[in-house]
Amino acid sequence: MATTAISAETSARPAAWPRVLLLIGRVALGLVFVVAAYTKLHFNGAWHFSDYYFFFGMAINSYNLLPFWAVELMGRILPWFEVALGFFLISGVALRWVGIVASLLLLAFIGGMVHAYILGLEIVCGCFGNSEKLGPLTLLRDGSLLVLALAVTIGAFLVKKREKRVRAVLSAREETVSS
C-alpha cells in the first residue's frame, strides 16, 4: 500500500521539463544579450567604455529611422540596457515583464532591419559589433531570437499562472482547516 502511495505521489508531481526548458531558454537569451552588449563595448581589440557610443550611434544612424537626438541616446544607453536585460533573464527576476521587454526590443530591431533591407540599404547590422553586414542571415538570426523571447515570455506566464492556482488552492484549504 505504501509503495503504491509513493509511486502515485511521484507520478502526480508536476513535470519538471517545462521549468527546465524555461531555464535553458531564458539563460540562452540572456547570454545573447550580454554578448551583444559586449561586442558593442569591446571591439577592434580593445574596450571602448569612453567612446563606444560614437561607433554604435553611427550604426544606428545608418538605418535612417531615428532623429539625431534619439540616435545619440540609443547609442549611449542600449548596450547597458542589454547588459541589464541579460542579467535579469539569466537570474530569472521579473521574468514575465523582462520577457515582454526583450520581445519588444527584438521586434523593434527586426522592424528596423526589415525596413532597411527592403530599402536596399547596404549597412552593417549593428547587432553584434560593427563588422556584420545586414542581410537575410542576420534577419533569420534575429527572427529566431524573437521566437525564443516570445517562448520564454509565454512560458514564464504559464508557470506563474500555475503557481497562482496552487496558492489559491492552498489558501482555500487553510480556510477549511481553520473553520
Partner 1 sequence: MGLEYAVQKIQGEHRVKTLPVRRIGILFFICVMAAALAASAHPNPQASKDAPGLAAGGAIRKGIGSPNAPITMEVFGDFQCPACRGFFEGTVKQVIDDYVIPGKVYLVHRDFPLEIHPYAMQAARLANAAAASGQFEAIERALYDHQEQWSIKGNIEEVIAGSFPPAQFKKFQAYESQHLAEINASIDRDKNLGNQRSVNQTPTVFVTSHGKTEALPGGGVDYKLLKQYFDYLLRQ
* Minimum distance from residue 147 beta carbon to partner 1 (Å): 25
* Minimum distance from residue 164 beta carbon to partner 1 (Å): 10
In this complex, which beta carbon is closest to partner 1, that of residue 93 or of residue 108? Answer: 93
* Minimum distance from residue 149 beta carbon to partner 1 (Å): 18
Report the interface residues with partner 1, using CB under 8 A. 8-9, 12-14, 44-55, 57-59, 61-62, 68, 71, 76-77, 79-80, 83-84, 87-88, 91-94, 121-124, 126, 130-131, 133, 162-163, 166-167, 169-170
- What is the rounded (10 degree) CA torsion for 20, 21, 24, 28? -160
Residue with cell string 561607433: 55
What value, to the nearest 5°, has the Cα angle with vertex 171 and ends 166 and 175? 150
| Spatial separation of the C-alpha atoms in residues 1 and 153, rounded to whole Å | 42
* Minimum distance from residue 171 beta carbon to partner 1 (Å): 10
- The C-alpha cell at 171 is 489558501
- Work out the burial of residue 63: count CB atoms within 10 Å of its CB; fewer than 13 is exposed, 13-18 middle, 19 or more buried: buried
In this complex, which beta carbon is closest to partner 1, that of residue 25 or of residue 79? Answer: 79
In this complex, which beta carbon is closest to partner 1, that of residue 60 or of residue 148? Answer: 60
Alpha carbon separation from 133 to 15, 64, 118, 128 (Å, rounded): 43, 16, 14, 10
In this complex, which beta carbon is closest to partner 1, that of residue 51 or of residue 175? Answer: 51
* Minimum distance from residue 41 beta carbon to partner 1 (Å): 9
Q: Quick one: which H or E segment has residue 62?
A: none
In this complex, which beta carbon is closest to partner 1, that of residue 115 or of residue 133? Answer: 133
